[in-house]
Structure 1
Amino acid sequence: MIIAFYLIIAVLVLYAFMVLLSNWRYKSQLYRLLSLQDRSAPKFFNFGQLSGLPLPVDKYFRLVLKEGQSYIRTIRLKHSGQFKTALDRPWIPIRGEQYYTILPAGFIWKGNTALFSARDMYIGGKGKLEVFLLDALKIVNGKGDKFNQGELLRWLAESVWFPTNFLENENRQWFAIDSKNARLKVNVYGLNLSFLVAFTQKGEIATLSTKRYMAGVLEIWVISLSDYREINSMRIPFMAEASWKLGGKLFPYARFEILEIEYDMEFRYTAKKINHAETFRS
């Protein structure tokens, strides 16, 4: 009986240590992400930058940005939602937090469910996926070229939450298709990315679709967006759904609702520092 008691204590101590180690690594990854960000002088948007853009793209920027809008540097957000561990599995609740940098391209996301936590990240030009059982035991450690491509695509698609990142520059161009669709081509770290972007009649982005690796095979990946609201002088979607399009049919696997989003806040949510950037809480 005494031996069993000490074994239980030892297991609990080991579990607590593994959780602490996992959280320490997460803090270190986030610190590295934020330490790499660009510190150059701020830039500001003006409508003159829209000259020559495809009609639906011009309409989108006039809807979601205002004259003089500052270019976003960092973003942090919290979300709720549902997630599938496989396309044929049931939906489970998930909550998460995410941090982004624009220059250089980067993000880290941590999602938590009752049984596991997951981290998607793109830091220093490298993508990675980690999954931990009970936030302690690492059971997935995905990295390599396919993850570099996939995580960078995620960063670019989620620019809907910081739309100044969609503005054209030497590495980012829009191409006309028709009155409701355009193609976005981007080069980051030598990787060429391309999204087909569909717009609503109002001018909001409805979907972004591209080819992304799924189990080592390129498949069509689709992000669907809705519930646009204004925050920080920008109009952004508060609902997002990620799907795979297989055999012409959509199979959603993630549905996120933004609970809180803040701009140019260079620290974790648990930190005590106060910043006067605009914030929205649903």
Structure 2
Amino acid sequence: MKKLMIITLIVSGILLITLVIGRINLSNKFHHQVKELFSQSKNIEGKTFTYSQLIGLPEPVQRYFKLVLKEGQPYISYARITHGGQFKTGLDKDWININGEQYATTEKPGFIWKGSTTMFTARDMYIKDKGRLVVSLFSIYTIVDGAGKTFDQGELLRWLGESVLYPTNLLPGDKLQWFAIDSRTAKLTFNYDGLSLFYIVSFNNAGEIIQLESKRYMDKENLETWVIKLADYKVLNQIIVPTAFEVLWRLKKGDFSYAKFFIKTVEYNVPKAF
């Protein structure tokens, strides 16, 4: 019995050490990727927003920018974000708690997100014009490592949609344009690195963006309707941003929500990890 207890303690100790080493290795890899992300993009704080940029834009889009930005607002170069919330690993799975941190660049499109649960750590990213999703069980075993054209499209689409958290990125330019639909809806298009993306953007009477709808690859072959719902706008760092996000697939058989995040912090132009 004593020998069995000793063996059990030794095995438990080895497992604990393995878990600790795995978490340290994953953390080091993540911080390296954050540095890589920030190194690829330039500081554009010298550029400022003026209301004259809104001339000719659809009316609800003008209302949005007049709400969230002030005259003279410097363009956001970098953003870092933390959030809590719930997540589903599959449409038929239960909700689990998740905490995340995310970093984004604007001059060159890019982001990296790490979401952590008690069981797994997920890293979603778009770095050097490539999308990737890596999921590690207990921070040790890689159980998903997705890359390729469908991930390039999906991750760039995520970066574009989450620009509501760094909204100078949604101002019109060479790659980004807005088109009128009606008094509460407009179409946003973004063309980059051979990808042509769009969102149908819905606004409320206050000018807040309350929904973004697009087509995203649900798997390697099928494009499905993908929706981001936004709510609970607050002033963070002198900019009004949504702090409640719900992400869902809108399928023929119904809506399937898989992420409900609430923003804890948003910081701008601090190009380093928390």
* TM-score between both structures, scaled by the size of structure 2: 0.94
RMSD: 1.4
Q: Residue type of the partner of 2:65?
A: F
Alignment of 1:109-124 (within 5 A): 109-124=113-128
Q: CA deviation at 1:17?
A: 2.6
User: What is the deviation of 1:93?
Assistant: 0.8
Which residue number in structure 2 is paired with residue 165 of structure 1?
A: 169
Percent same amino acid at aligned positions? 46
1:234 aligns with 2:239: yes
Confirm or deny that 1:243 pairs with 2:248: yes
Q: Structure 1 172/28 Cα, relative in aligned 2: closer, same or farther at 3 Å?
A: same
Contact 1:175 1:182 survives alignment (8 Å)? yes
2:101 alignment counterpart: 97
CA distance in structure 2 between the aligned counterparts of 1:44 and 1:91, rounded to whole angstroms: 41
Q: How many Å apart are 1:192 and its aligned residue?
A: 0.8
Which residue pairs with 1:276 in the alignment? none
In the alignment, what sits opposite 1:24?
A: 28
Shift of 1:94: 0.7
2:142 maps to 1:144: no
| AA partner of residue 42 (structure 1) | G
Q: 2:271 matched to 1:266?
A: yes
Secondary structure of the 1:177 match is strand
Counterpart amino acid of residue 228 in structure 1:
Y
* Number of positions where the alignment pairs a residue of Structure 1 with one of Structure 2: 269
Whole-angstrom CA distance in 1 between matches of 2:44 and 2:105: 13
* 1:41-95 alpha-carbon deviations (Å, 9 max, x no partner): 6200000000100111111111111100010010111101010111111111111
1:72 to 67, 76, 81: 76
1:239 deviates by: 0.4
Note the C-alpha offset of 1:154: 0.3
Aligned mates of 1:231, 1:173 — CA distance in 2: 26
Query: Any conservation in 2 of the 1:182–1:196 contact (CA below 8 Å)?
Result: yes
* Alpha-carbon distance in structure 2 between the residues aligned to 1:256 and 1:11: 32
Contact 1:241 1:254 in 2 (8 A): yes
Q: Secondary structure at the match of 1:267?
A: coil
Query: Secondary structure at the residue paired with 2:98?
Result: strand
Q: For 1:153 and 1:111, how far apart are their aligned partners in 2?
A: 18
Contact 1:221 1:244 in 2 (8 A): yes
Question: Structure 1 CA distance, aligned partners of 2:179 and 2:108?
Answer: 24
| Counterpart-to-counterpart distance in 2, 1:143 and 1:19 | 23
Aligned counterparts, 1:199-238, within 5 A: 199-216=203-220, 217-238=222-243
Task: Identify unmatched segments of 5+ residues in structure 2.
Answer: none
**8 Å contact kept, 2:60–2:183:** yes
Higher relative CO (Cα under 8 Å, sequence separation at least 6) belongs to: 2
Report the Cα distance in structure 1 between the residues aligned to 2:63 and 2:120, rounded to whole angstroms.
Answer: 42
CA contact (8 A) 2:44 2:77 kept: no
- Contact 1:75/1:99 (<8 A) preserved: yes
Equivalent pair of 1:69/1:233 in contact (CA under 8 Å) = no
Q: Which moved more, 1:70-79 or 1:245-254?
A: 245-254
More off after superposition, 258-267 vs 4-13: 4-13
Gaps of 5+ in 1: 270-282
- Find the counterpart in structure 2 of residue 252 from structure 1: 257
Cα deviation for residue 248 of structure 1 reads: 6.2
